[in-house]
Amino acid sequence: MRLVVLPVLLCAAAVAAHAGGIAPNLTRNGRSAHINYMTECQGCHLPDGSGQKGSVPSMKAELHRFLKVEGGREFLVQVPGSANSKLSDADLAALLNWLIPKMGGIAADGFKPYTPEEIATYRSQRLVDVTGTRAALVAKFDQPETSSVN
Amino acid sequence: MTNRLDRIMERLSRTAARGMSRRSFFGRASAFGITAASMPLLPVSRANAAQQPGESGDPQSCDYWRYCAIDGFLCSCCGGSTSSCPPGTEPSPITWVGTCRNPVDNKDYVISYNDCCGKSACGRCMCNRNEGDTPVHQPAGSNDINWCLGTEVGVVYNCSTAVVLGAAD
């Protein structure tokens, strides 16, 4: 029996490695996604996600657009506010899965929730040109952005 | 002319006095007064009051619980309060947010340290406790940033507030 299980486990490990291979940090800080939003994001993005014209882009009813273009799902994790936050991969996944339906203009069942494994993989790929990457994604939107950073 | 006006007023007053008892007026006036005064005592739900934690300590003292992560002059000593700016200054719309433990119920609360801006530094009650303060490369938790950057009145820093946003659970 053991001889059968071992290859299965090895196979599963190989699949995991192929899918990204980054072990996620699953530590939880014990706080709800909303409280983590308050302490990590709200200071600049404001309680309703509307941001600050000229310096902090609005997330309100805008985030869903990123999910519709290639590379956008990764960008929402790799953007410095997400990637550099003090949140673990598990807490960041919970926060994004709360935030996107709450402020992003899309229903909770309208997008695939992030998993901690996915967060770990995207987070390990550092964005070098943040504004350039963002501008390239925004250019792929169906309709122009309603608010802009610049 | 004056006599005629006097006569009209006299007639009106006498008619009113005949038809109205003074006691009924005082009765109604005091009933109205008592009702108006007791309205706020009714047990209706007050959203803001419900969120506010129990309080102990002196908001003009640096060891007051809400100031666990503050870095600046206390607005309570500068003509404002823990949640309002002194006259003539504008609260920063962007801010940094931390948590402090309330000694009354031993729970953590989310505190927003909005700066007040537009007048030169207050200079009273400097308080720099820095619990949970992060380096500036993690700006959401850093108190070393001049958060007046987001205001209309400019970047001149006056003092800091400590607004309770809610329980951190």
Structure tokens at A133: 């990457």
Give the residue with greater pLDDT, B138 vs A8: B138
Q: Does B99 touch chain A (CB under 8 A)?
A: yes
Instruction: Determine, for residues B141 and A39 on separate chains, whether the beta-carbon distance falls below 8 Å.
Output: yes
DSSP label at residue A88: -
- Mean pLDDT of the B44-50 span: 51
Q: Are B115 and A44 in contact (CB under 8 A)?
A: no
Chain A closest-CA separation from residue B43 CA (Å): 29
Residue A9: pLDDT over 50: no
Q: Residue B93: phi, psi to the nearest 5?
A: -70, -35
Comparison of pLDDT for A116 and B21, the residue scoring more:
A116
Kindly state the average pLDDT of the residues B37-65: 75
Looking at the complex, report in whole angstroms how far the Cα of residue A66 sits from the nearest Cα belonging to chain B: 23
Q: Is the CB of A86 less than 8 angstroms away from the CB of B141?
A: yes
- Specify the higher pLDDT residue, B155 or A144: B155
Q: For the segment B17-45, what is each residue's pLDDT rounded down to a tens digit?
A: 887 776 777 778 888 888 778 776 665 55
Q: For residue A150, is pLDDT > 80?
A: no
Asked whether the ipTM of the predicted complex exceeds the cut of 0.95, the reply is: no
pTM to 2 decimal places: 0.73
Nearest CA-CA partner of B150 in B92, B88, B84: B92
Distances (CA, A) of A69 to A22, A72, A141, B82, B153: 24, 6, 7, 45, 39
Instruction: Note whether A31 contacts B98, CB cutoff 8 Å.
Output: no
pLDDT over 70 (residue A16) = no
Q: How far is A5 from chain B (nearest CA, A)?
A: 42
Strand partners, B163: B112
CA distances from B69 to A18, A125, B21, B100, B142 (A): 44, 33, 65, 8, 9
Does B92 or A10 have the greater pLDDT score? B92
A8 has pLDDT over 50: no
pLDDT tier for residue A14 given thresholds of 50, 70 and 90: very low
B120: confidence class by pLDDT, cuts 50, 70, 90: very high
Among candidate residues B115, B133, B144, B169, the one labeled active-site is B115
| Residue B146 sits at the chain A interface (C-beta within 8 Å) | no
Q: Does B115 participate in catalysis according to the annotation?
A: yes
Tell whether the model's pLDDT for residue A131 goes beyond 50: yes
Closest to B97 (Cβ–Cβ): which among A39, A52, A84? A39
Provide the pLDDT for residue B46.
Answer: 52
Beta strand B90-91 with B107-112 is unpaired
**Structure tokens given for A100:** 């996107």
Phi-psi region for residue A71, left (φ > 0), alpha (ψ -120 to 50) or beta? Answer: left
Quote the pLDDT of residue B142: 81
Q: What is the pLDDT of residue A149?
A: 52
Q: Which tens digit of pLDDT belongs to each residue from A29-62?
A: 999 999 999 999 999 999 999 998 888 899 998 9
Tell me whether residues B140 and A39 touch, CB distance under 8 A. Answer: yes
User: What residue in A sits closest to B132 (Cα-Cα)?
Assistant: A39
Q: Which of B94, B137, B168 sits opposite A35 (nearest CB)?
A: B168
The reply to whether B65 belongs to the active site is no
How far, CA to CA in Å, does B24 sit from each of A3, A87, B28, B103? 100, 69, 6, 54
DSSP per-residue codes, B19-70: H--HHHHHHHHHHHHHHHHHGGGS----HHHHHPPP--S-TTSTTSGGGTT-
